[in-house]
Amino acid sequence: MSNKHKVMIIDDEKIVGDMAKLSLEQEGYEVEAFLNGETALARLQGSPFDVVVTDFKMKGIDGLEVLRTVKKLYPKTVVIMITAFANLDVAIEALRDDVHDFFPKPVKIKELKASIQRALEKRKDENVNA
Amino acid sequence: MPNRFQAWWQALLPRLSGRGNPEGPSDLKTMLSHFQAVLDCNNQALEVMTDMGEKLGGDYLFDVNYTQRAYDALSGHIGGSLRHFALLTGGRYPQLGEVQARLDVLVRRMLTSAGPPADRLVLFYDEITWDLAEEVGGKNYHLAELRNSLKLPTPAAFALTTAAFDLFVRHNNRLAARLQDLGSTAADIDPLLPELQELVRQGSFPEPLAVALEDAVGRMRSLQGQECRLAVRSSAEEEDGDFSFAGQFGTVLNVPCTLEAVQQAYKEVVASLFGSGSIAYQRHLGYDPGKLRMAVGCVAMIEARVSGVTFTASDGNREIMLVSAAWGLGKAVVDGFTDADLYRVRKGEAPEIIDTRVGRKEQMVVNLPGGGIETVDTPAGLRGKACLTEGEVLELARQAMLIEEHFRTPQDIEWAIDAKGRFFLLQSRSLRLEGEPAAGEGEAAGQAAPPVETGQPVLLRNQGLVVQKGTAAGPVFILRHADELDQVPQGAVLVARNDSPHFVRVIPFLAAIITDVGVPTSHMASICRELGLPTVVNAGNATALLPPGQEVTLRAGEEGEVAVHQGILPGLLRQYRQAGIKMRELYELRRQKYIMRYIAPLHLVNPLEEEFAADKCRTIHDLIRFMHEKSVQELVAKASGAGRGLTSLLRKSPLRRLQLPIPVQLLLIDIGGGVSGKGETVEVDQVLSPPLRGVLRGMTAPGVWHGGGMALRGKDLLAGITRAAELAEAGGEAGSNLAIISGEYLHLSLRFGYHFNVLDSYCSGTPRNNHIYFRFVGGAAAITSRSRRIQLMADVLAESGFILKTKGDLLIARLSNLSCPRAEEILEQVGRLIAFTRQLDAVLDSDEMVARVARDFLAGRYTIPS
């Protein structure tokens, strides 16, 4: 089994998944990209990811539903939300639901990377302390 | 005093009335407000362009929604500019609106991923306009561009468009269905490819396509003769653009010009899309199999006596071109199987052949009479004999330089010369220079990075604004004058005082740009972003800190950190390259970035050239630049017109007289905020208009104003008498020295004896909006002396960064994109120059003296030579 961290990207626009996958792979992550919530959640059954980066507004299963499902299945998985429609209510709701970070699009890839890294370090510390 | 002034003015009025146009000050004020509005809208547009360049540059995750919103904003700002520009210019440039409308269609089509309209199946090259790149594919587009824009000789040709391709695919149901499957299957598709190729070859032509093709073939025969033959070649969407696809697709040569034969060849070329090697390459570039669309070119075959290839740069040297040539068709050279002749040519106004190496050329490729081609042994008499004359080599060189200049990147050009000695260009595409990694040749991710150098001395740190991030290395070249651009060596780090759109022509050859002054929204900045050239502007004193010739490595980081290290640091460079290349290859990103093609490139560079015309605008950037320049010109013209129509001006604005410590009568018209206080006379310290303040400081500077005039010598005196009438005809302001001013603006007409100076300047808080325009004409002296004075002025002005045009005794100088304090500083120098050179021409005996006086002047010594 690979000791790389696994990252899942969910966005209904291919360009977002392609770019995120490419840049995160360069950092040594193992990345899978999905174009909708349905296939992404199906992939998650029985196969935990360390980080899930999801678009908020998608047809069918949206970002909030992804967040809730992920947290129910794997409470330790880090969830990061990105959205083109920056809206405070959404942010508050998402944060209450334990989203690690929240980015309006366009999001600087470097910031996304830093956020993922911080989350993983924090999780490691928690595990050590637990 | 006031009485004398009134009397003088009364005497002047009748001479002025009835001349010029009826612009009043309120009109001029309105014009100034339109001018400001054009500039404001342009700036907002440039800011959006900057943001788009940044967000689409590969460092951000963005979606189509962003591109859409940004473009909407851009389009709104441009609409505003166009409206105010039309009002400013009285609607004299209706072409701009048309260009904008065409651009809008193109961009919106890309945003919605809608293909081009399906009504144009066949286009003759003469009909291929700049906005049809997507329809005709890269190869057709470039060749048509040589024909239509550069008027260079190309064979008669037509294109079968991507719409024709779509129609062909749709018409052949099984082919369409298989292509659909191809897109959705995750399995290995290689086994499916032979069937696809077969379906293409068996495919039939839909009625409209067959009809259009038959027409085209008929027209070709009537143009070229019944027996003419065609080369049928691929021209895929991105072919010869960022990616060459070199050798990936089929070409069928020497095809009889009949419907059946061309249909056959078309299918053969289209089938090559599905070769397994080609599919692998397409995948590598991010195309899902079956997604790439192909246009095809049908180009009249040339009965080539000699053919070959010209590289406009050779061995990484952009000064040297390489021409390779062989007998017969170009295939022998392109495929490299014959020992071709090689000519190396040094570029320049008069290109020269540096050396010639005559190859053995044992084999050659010829057309077969019944169609097709054949490789044959070269007749003994031709082997080892040079196949080009010196004149032919130089003509090829001249054409190649034109093409390179047009596309602004080194080119790889195919050409042929027929038995009658006629030249034909067959293809032109970007030449990748040595050291520049080709797409797909990036280092594999995960490969151990070389150690990144630390501890190297840093020559400049954290000064300036990062326009385009990146890491690059090369020798420092300090640019002092615009005319030194020709000397910038390949791969240099260009360090200049100001940024300038004139750098465009060398940008493709540079490693990086650093400027002392400048803004990230300038024309130059957006070109650098477009081409991904690491660029830092506003670095303060880079021209002083960086030693000329010193090899340096510039690191311009994402977070705006800037460091110029001494020496070339390979580790640092490699670390940077690794990340960038992969991202560039992402299909989805390229697709979005293509929108920028219609937005960012700048074709109109030099406003003093003929090419600077409304109908030459091809991008939003061109529109912005054109409107900016023409707005300045319009303002100059309007203000001069208003100056001439003084009587109507006076109805609304009082004419005031400036008290100067030098013997110059200067009248002022303030159209708002130009002076403080009221009254007929104005003291120098009441002047608020920054440009006028600058000029006056210069004109009244100690030592520059020499009393009296220099005595004219014999022949100069004669010349002076005859010139006086001429000059008055040419629009002299009958002795009126007039300044029209506002809080940010100056339009100054000054006449000293036979010298006419017009100075127009706008100095606001936004550097991009600011300009200085200076025109000088006249002089009572023999033409050689007058030209010497122009030379002197040009030397001095060039030192301040002006772009100059001189013709006889006319000088036009312009400078834009500079901060208000800097503009004031330069205007002060212009003021000194105006005062100093009043009657200098009579004493400038030699060119050496011009150089000496210019040196002295720049050093602050204002002695008139005796």
Whether the Cβ atoms of residue B120 and residue B161 lie closer than 8 Å to each other: yes
Contact between chains at A15 and B64 (C-beta distance less than 8 A):
yes
Of B254, B272, B300, the position where a domain reaches its end is: B300
Residue B337's domain is classified under what CATH number?
Answer: 3.30.470.20
| Containing structural domain, residue B333 | 304-418
Pick B674 or B291 by higher pLDDT. Answer: B674
Q: Are B591 and B664 members of one domain?
A: no
Q: Rounded to whole angstroms, how far apart are CA atoms B295 and B287? A: 16
- Does residue B239 sit in the same domain as residue B369? no
pLDDT at B848: 87
| Any domain includes B409 | yes
Instruction: State mean pLDDT over A32-49.
Output: 92
**Same-domain status, B325 and B351:** yes
Q: How many beta-carbon pairs below 8 A join chains A and B?
A: 65
Please state, in angstroms and rounded to a whole number, the distance separating the CA atoms of residues B715 and B783.
11
CB-CB neighbors (< 8 A) of A26 in chain B? 445, 578-579, 582
Are B296 and B163 contained in the same domain? yes
One domain for residues B287 and B310: no
CB-nearest partner of A19 from B578, B589, B591: B589
Of the pLDDT bands very low, low, confident and very high (cuts 50, 70, 90), residue B735 is very low
**Is residue B220 located within the same domain as residue B314?**
no
> Any CB–CB contact under 8 A between A6 and chain B?
no
Establish if B116 belongs to a structural domain.
no
B762 vs B741: CA distance, rounded Å:
10
pLDDT above 50 for B8: no
Residue B218: pLDDT over 50? yes
Q: Does A84 touch chain B (CB under 8 A)?
A: yes
B122 within domain boundaries: no
CB–CB of B61 and A84 under 8 A? Answer: no
Contact A110 B59 (CB under 8 A): yes
Question: Does residue B268 share a domain with residue B166?
Answer: yes
Asked if B592 and A20 come within 8 Å (Cβ–Cβ), the reply is no
Cis peptide before A106 (omega within 30 of 0): yes
Is residue B55 within 8 angstroms of chain A, CB to CB? yes
Which residues share a beta bridge with A54? Answer: A10, A81
Q: Are strands B745-752 and B755-762 parallel, antiparallel or unpaired?
A: antiparallel
Predicted local confidence at residue B313, as pLDDT: 85
pLDDT digits (tens, 9 = 90+) for B519-564: 777 777 877 877 778 999 889 899 999 999 999 999 988 677 899 9
A15 and B592 within 8 Å at the Cβ level: the answer is yes
Q: DSSP letter at B768?
A: G
Is residue B328 very low, low, confident or very high in pLDDT (cuts 50, 70, 90)? very high
Flag if A15 and B588 touch (Cβ within 8 Å).
yes
Q: What is the CATH number of the domain that holds B248?
A: 3.30.1490.20
Q: How far is A75 from chain B (nearest CA, A)?
A: 26
Beta bridge partners of B272: none
Q: Is residue B531 included in any domain, yes or no?
A: yes
Backbone angles phi, psi at B70, to 5 degrees: -65, -45
Q: Which two tokens stand for residue B43?
A: 């700036």
B372 or B269, higher pLDDT: B269
Mean pLDDT value across residues B67-96: 95
Contacts of B134 (CB under 8 A, 6+ apart): B106, B115, B116, B162, B237
Q: Is B368 on the interface with A (CB under 8 A)?
A: no
pLDDT at B694 over 70: yes
- Count CA atoms within 13 Å of residue B721 on its CB side: 5
Contact B63 A14 (CB under 8 A): no
pLDDT by residue (tens digit) across B599-653? 988 888 777 777 889 988 999 999 998 998 888 888 878 877 776 665 555 555 6
Are residues B24 and B652 in contact, defined by beta-carbon separation less than 8 angstroms?
Answer: yes
Instruction: Copy the structure tokens of residue B520.
Output: 């990230």
**In this structure, what CATH number is given to the domain that contains residue B464?**
3.50.30.10
- Distance of alpha carbon B301 from alpha carbon B262, whole angstroms: 13
Q: Which residues of A touch B55 (CB under 8 A)?
A: 106
ipTM of the modeled complex:
0.88
Burial class, B724, CB count within 10 angstroms (exposed 0-12 / middle 13-18 / buried 19+):
middle
Give yes or no: residues B283 and B346 share one domain: no
| Residue B218 within any structural domain of the chain | yes
Share of chain B above pLDDT 70, in %: 83
Q: How much is the average pLDDT of B19-30?
A: 54
The full DSSP string for B134-175 is: HHHHHHHHHHHHHHHTS------EEEE-HHHHHHHHHHSHHH
* Closest A-chain CA to B445: A26
Provide the pLDDT for residue B716. Answer: 42
- Choosing from B574, B598, B622, the residue where a domain stops is B598
Q: Are residues B325 and B254 part of one domain?
A: no
Phi-psi sector, B517: left (phi>0), alpha (psi -120 to 50), beta: beta
How crowded is the C-beta side of B504, counted as CA atoms within 13 Å?
20
Beta bridge partners of B667: B657, B738
Measured between CB atoms, does B60 come within 8 Å of chain A? yes
* Distance (Å) of CA B269 to CA A116, B114, B370: 48, 25, 20
Same domain, B278 and B351: no
Give the pLDDT score at A116: 95
Q: What share of chain B has pLDDT > 90, as a percent?
A: 39
d(CA B79, CA B485): 35
Range of lowest pLDDT (A24-33, A35-44, B183-192): B183-192
Domain count, chain B: 4
Q: Which helix (H) or strand (E) holds B383?
A: none
E strands, B578-693, where? 655-659, 666-670, 681-683
Chain B nearest C-alpha distance from A54 (Å): 12
Q: Is the pLDDT of residue B246 over 60?
A: yes
Answer with the one of B551, B575, B598 that is the final residue of a domain.
B598
The residue type of B587 is Y
Does residue B865 surpass a pLDDT of 50?
yes
pLDDT band at B282 (very low <50, low <70, confident <90, very high): confident
Q: Mind listing the pLDDT tens digit for each residue in B86-140?
A: 999 999 999 999 999 999 998 998 888 776 676 789 999 998 887 888 889 989 9
Structural domains in chain A plus CATH codes: 6-129 (3.40.50.2300)
pLDDT of residue B724: 39
pLDDT number for residue B133: 84
CA distance A129 to chain B (A): 32
Per-residue pLDDT at B649: 55
Let me know whether B664 and B787 are in one domain.
yes
Q: Using CB atoms, which residue from B60, B445, B579 is nearest to A106?
A: B60
Give the angle B552-B558-B561 at the CA atoms, nearest 5°. Answer: 55
Cβ–Cβ gap A22/B582 under 8 Å: yes
Confidence grade of residue B265 (pLDDT, cut at 50, 70, 90): very high
Percent over 90 (pLDDT), chain A: 55
User: Between vectors from CA B282 to CA B281 and to CA B287, what angle results, nearest 5°?
Assistant: 150
**Average per-residue pLDDT in chain B?**
82
Is residue B33, in this structure, part of any structural domain at all? no
Q: Mark yes or no for CB contact A13/B64 under 8 Å.
A: yes
Does the structure show a pLDDT above 70 at B6?
A: no
Q: How far is B461 from chain A (nearest CA, A)?
A: 22
